[in-house]
Structure formats: C-alpha cells, structure tokens
Structure 1
Amino acid sequence: MIIGRNDKCWCGSGEKYKKCHMNFDEKIKEFKSKGYEVPHRSLIKTPEQIEKIKESAKINNEILNLVGQKIKAGMTTEEVDQIVHDYTISQGAIPAPLGYSGFPKSCCTSVNDQICHGIPDGYVLKDGDIINVDVSTILNGYYSDASRMYIIGEVPENAKKLVEVTKECLIKGIEAVKPWTRLGNVAYTIEQHAKANGYSVVREFGGHGIGLEFHEDPFVFHYGTRNEGMLMVPGMIFTIEPMINEGHHELYIDADNGWTSYTEDGKLSAQWENMILVTEDGYEILAY
C-alpha cells in the first residue's frame, strides 16, 4: 500500500505521513539498499502500542520487586511461582509463561547451574544459592518480559562475582543500543566483557523482540561481531538477557521436563534480562 505525503501516517499518530514517518521510511530504504538487514514495519511499535506495553511492563516490574521482598532461604521455588501468579492475576494480567508451548508454571526459576527455563517445584532455597526469576506479563494483549538474579543468604565470592559481572554485561549491552546501528554491537560488547572476566556466553538462547507477541523478531545474540545483524531503529522493542557461565558455554536440556537448561560442566550460570525500547537518541528501559 502506497501512502501519500499528506495521508495519515501508518503508525497511528494521526499526523500526516510527511511530518511523521516519511523521512524514517526513506532512511530505512537507504540502509536496505546498502545491504543492511532492516526491520519490517511490523516490528516498529506505534506510540499507542508503546504506551500499552509500558503498562504491562509496570506490572512486570512490580512483580519482580515483590519477589525481591519475599524470596529467602527455606522458601520453595513453587512458592516463588505462587507469588508471581497471585500478583499477576490480582492486577488483571496474565502470566505469559503459563501454558506457553506447554510450560506448566507462571515464571521460570533457575537455580545455580540451571541456565534458564527452570520449572518451579519443591526445591527449597538455601543459603549460598543464586536464582534467576524470569517473569513475563500479558496485559490487555500486550507483553513484557524481564528477569533478575537474587542471592540467597551468604553466597561464595565466586557466585557473587558471577552475578555482578553478568549484570555488568547487561548494562554494557544496553549502552550499546543506539538507533541506526546494528544489533551485533550489543552482542560484541557483552561477549567481550564476559571474556575479560574469564566467563563464557551461552549461545543457544538469546533476547527477542516483544510487545505484541511473546517472542518476535529479531533474535538478539549475546556473542558476535561488531557491525553485524539487524539495524536498530526507533520504535523497536526487544529484550537483552545475557546468560553467562562460570565455566564453558556448553549446556544440556533436562530430558525429563524438556525445558530446563543446565551447564554441561555443572558450574554456575547467571542471567539478567531487561526489555528495551529504541528511541530517537538512544534507548529506554521498560522492564527490568
């Protein structure tokens, strides 16, 4: 469909196309002509969609805050899941993981050598554990997603360092988000910081576009080369969620539940996840 200069813009702003996204679209075409991978228009969120996604993210952030207040030694991961489920429902929202491709719980709880997709169960948290709680929320059809690491009691220095460096990897990756540059810059920045600290980056899992669906394009790598990958442009929303291993990056998936990923060498793994909006001059963190 061809939009005239004086027609209303496709983004739903109500503005004329020439005053809204015409220059944006021309810039996209220019990059594409130079061989860049550019996002489809469906990945560019409209102002109205962004506001709705922010409302979902607000609840997601509140859930993770609540988990942080309550999580402690002696609590089961099932009890953590119940906290997430009950608060989500109380806010008129839906836990996105529940029933997603058969996933049986409302959040993921990944402890110690579990990399991701840990299924809440009767495991009792104890002093020295590190745990990632990954929460995703649907509010009125709009999705948000973030995860945090929680330290249970007194943990060994090596565990504490891994958690801290993994968060640094996330922060540095976010700082590499700049409009009209490539996603590979995010990947490269994360991998270099992990390697500098003697850690490895999980390769099988990555971040993803989000907002109108749970998982959208693009796939966000956490390792790679500068100036490769899809072009980041204003209006894109995706997660950055580095999974950093204390040992090597190889993993295996629990054959019994088909979900939980573990480090192959049995060493620790950590993950932090934020949901990012690319803006005209940088980024905005929506869920954290």
Structure 2
Amino acid sequence: MKVSLKSKEEIARIKEAGEILADCHKRISELITPGITTLEIDAFVEKYLADRGATPEQKGYRGFPFATCASVNEVVCHGFPNNKKLREGDIVTIDLVVNKKGWLADSAWTYPVGKISSEAKRLMEVTEQALYAGIAQAVPGNRIGDIGYAVGRCAEEANMGIVKALIGHGIGRKMHEAPDVPNFGRAHSGMIIKTGMVFTIEPIFTLGDIGAVLWDNDGWTIRSADGTLGAHFEHTLAVLEDGPVILTK
C-alpha cells in the first residue's frame, strides 16, 4: 500500500479532529472514578463528539457497536464498553477515533481507577515513556524500524511484554493507512520516514514478559494470554521538516 503524504492544509484538518479528541480525553480523565461504568463513559463520548460536530469513527467499523474501545486490566485492546462498575485499583484504556469533516485522529490512553498498585503504575509509566521514545524517532530520514526499536527497548529494559500483534498505522481519511508502525524492530531498517507522513504510534505492553494475546469469541476483545495487566498509549502525529508534531496532544 502506498503512503499518502499529507499537505500542511490536510495536516491542519487532522489536527482539528485531534484537538477535539485530546479535549475529550481530558474530560474522560475527570470522569474515571470507582463506580462509573465504561458504558457511561462511552455514552459521554458519543454526546461530546456530537456537540462538537464530530463523530466516533469506530462505531460501525466492521460492525463494532460502540463509540469507544474500553479495555480493563488484562484486556489490552478493543474491549467492549459494558455495565460493570470500575473498581478501585483497576486500570482502563479508552481508545477512540474522531472524524471531523472526513478527517480522522486516533488516540488511546490508559487511566488509573482510584489508587492502583505500584506494578500497575510502573506498567503505565513505562508504556507512556515508550510512546514518547518512539515519537522522538519520527524525523525525516529515519526509518520506521527506528521507531519500533526505541519503543521495544523500553519494554525489554523493564522486562515487560510487547503485544506484537497490534501496531500503529497511517491515518487520514481512512482509519488504517500505510505505513504500518510496529512496536518492535531493528534500528535503521524499514521504510524511510518522510515529511508529510501522518501515523499513530501506540505501544501496548503487558506486565508479563511474553506479550502474547488471545482473542475473545466476540472477535474484538483482546486479552493478555498470561492474564497480566496491559497498558496502551497512543498519539497521532505528523512528520514535518523539523520533526514530529503530535496532533492529539
């Protein structure tokens, strides 16, 4: 698949969606307390986006029925929102894609529910650090492998698992475009990063060092195979002449 290089005007359109998404995440962070359900969060997101003239791109994508993916504890990705109340000590990832006038932005964030364990906190910190380590490599002339290598090293040094089945991706008018952006790789390998590329970087790590996952029967929900906690942090970014700019910050 050919990479679509975006103009400054197109990047500005994606940034408009990204700013809505970033503010939505800020509101979500204020909502997450013990006792709230992920279905309540999902309903909030749908109304919030409608009020901003935007839509949740996930809803209806290949039959996905919700505005958000809500993944709790050992669910690492694509969890269905439900009526189960979040409990003190849980961690929950809310992942959403915003469509504003046909242009898309994508961001996931893992949140603590009340006071969490030191292990869970460390998992979240390492995964978020890996996101920014990857973003720092997204400069013209580097290669996609440089991003994966930087992300993967963070997990390896912390003895955490990399969920290799799930990767970052190009984005623009479609949710998934070229290039693929894995969370592991060899430095100085892969596609050359060029000005105008827009893609997501989204490390997903587990407390267990295997990183293997299992799919539920619903065809969407993905859990760590060893039952350990998973965390997921994601930004959409654009590559400009002087380096990366986060569009969902």
TM-score range, shorter chain: over 0.9
Among 202, 210, 216, the residue aligned to 1:254:
216
The residue type equivalent to 1:206 in the other structure is I
Q: Number of paired residues?
A: 248
Paired residues of 1:43 and 1:236 also in contact (CA < 8 A): yes
* Residues 1:78 and 2:39 are matched in the alignment: yes
Q: Report what 1:205 is aligned to.
A: 166
Matched residue type, 2:154: H
Code of the aligned partner of 2:84: Y
Q: Which residue number in structure 2 is paired with residue 28 of structure 1?
A: none
Structure 2 unmatched ranges of 5 or more: none
Gaps of 5+ in 1: 1-38
Higher relative contact order (CA closer than 8 Å, sequence separation 6+): 2
TM-score (norm 1): 0.84
In the other structure, the counterpart of 2:82 is: 121
Question: 2:243 is matched with which residue?
Answer: 282
Match of 1:181 in 2: 142
Counterpart mapping for 1:205-244 below 5 A: 205-244=166-205
Tell me the alpha carbon deviations over residues 171-195 of structure 1, each in whole angstroms, 9 at most, x when there is no partner: 1111111111101000001111111
The corresponding residue for 1:19 is none
Q: Which residue of 2 aligns with 1:17?
A: none
Aligned AA (2:216): D
Cα-to-partner distance string for 1:180-229 (whole Å, 9 max, x where unaligned) = 11010000011111110110111111000001111101111001111111
Return the alpha-carbon distance in structure 2 between the equivalents of residues 54 and 176 of structure 1.
20
Over the aligned positions, Cα root-mean-square deviation in angstroms equals 1.0
Percent identical: 36
Give the alignment's TM-score, normalised by structure 2.
Answer: 0.97
Tell me which residue corresponds to 1:134.
Answer: 95
Aligned-partner Cα distance in 2 for 1:47–1:168:
28
Q: Whose Rg is larger?
A: 1
| Partner-residue secondary structure (3-state), 2:199 | strand
For 1:94, the equivalent position in structure 2 comes to: 55
Does 1:58 find its partner at 2:25?
no
Tell me the CA shift for residue 55 of structure 1: 0.9
Look up the SS of the partner of 1:51 in the other structure: helix
